[in-house]
Each structure stands twice: as structure tokens, then as C-alpha cells.
Amino acid sequence: MRKAAFLIFGLVGAALLSQFPEFFQQYTQRLGGRLDEVRTQVEALEQRASASGKTLNSYLEQFLVSRDRDVQQEGRALAVLVQRRAAMATAYSALSDASQFWRARAFAEHVDMDIAKATARDYKPAMPLTAESAVYSGAGFGAGGVAYSLLFGWRRKRRAMSRRRE
């Protein structure tokens, strides 16, 4: 019974972690699409700044120092858009440049939870047959085995301690 339960935990872990490469790919595609859209918006903003004879920073500053609260609010929103482009470009570069066995680390360092949630919502599982997937499957099997040992080992230890008290 214990061996079967251990095997089930291991296989569930393997099945779950084997999906990371596919999730990573779908996440990166979604991030890239959002980055393209933000770049387009910031480029249009830069063109408007240039048409006014200003740099992007001086153009945004004009909004931010305005006495009109609506104009200030718009300036803050535009500044956030520019910052978002930089953050997304950094994340996309880090994820794209990560070697296949370091993608999980890069993902953990640069994950955008809104994009991750959207990716998870639309995620389509796949059966990747790559060395990377095999490594994640093995790690998942090990994690499932550890989860089994922690869960059931703790219960056995607790039962043994309570028997000693009696």
C-alpha cells in the first residue's frame, strides 16, 4: 500500500512538473505579445513628444507638474506605461536568454502574476518529449515522493508518539 501511494505521489508530481516547459513557452508568448503592444504605445508617445519638440521625459514632466489633477493622473499613467515597457523588456530578455535548465529560475525572478494567471487560465497541456521535460518530470517525481514522505511520515511519527504517551 505504501509503495503504491509513494508511486502515485511521484507520478502526479512528475506529470505536473513535466508541464513547466509548455507553460513557460505559453507564458513567454503571452509576455511577448503584451510587450509588443506596450512598445507600440510608448513609441506613439515618443512620437507625440518629438512632434512637440520635447524628449519623452520632458513631455511626461509637463503632465506631472500640471495643476490640473486629470492631466497629472494621465501623466502618472503614461509614466507607468514607460516603466512597464522597461520591466517587460527586461523580463522577456531574461526568459528568452535563459538556458532550458535555468528557465525555472528566470521565471521565478521575472514572473508577472497577472500574465501568469492569464496563461494558467488559457493553458493547454502538452506532452513534451524533450530532455528538459524529462528533468522536470524526474524532479516532479522526487517532489511527489518527498511530499508523500512528509505527509505520511509525519502521521506515522505522530501516531508513534501518541502510543508512547499511553
pLDDT in tens, 6-61: 777 777 777 777 788 889 999 999 999 999 999 999 999 999 999 999 999 999 99
How far is Cα 162 from Cα 158, in angstroms, rounded to an integer?
A: 6
31, 84 Cβ separation under 8 angstroms: no
Instruction: Determine which of 1-5, 48-52, 67-71 has the lowest per-residue pLDDT on average.
Output: 1-5
- Maximum CA pair distance of the chain? 85
pLDDT number for residue 162 = 66
154, 48 Cβ separation under 8 angstroms: no
Q: Closest Cα partner for 138 from 7, 15, 44? A: 15
User: pLDDT of 110-149, one tens digit each?
Assistant: 999 999 999 999 988 877 667 777 776 777 777 777 777 7
63, 74 Cβ separation under 8 angstroms: yes
Q: Which three cell numbers stand for residue 121?
A: 487560465
pTM above 0.85, yes or no: no
User: Both ends of the chain: CA-CA distance in Å?
Assistant: 27
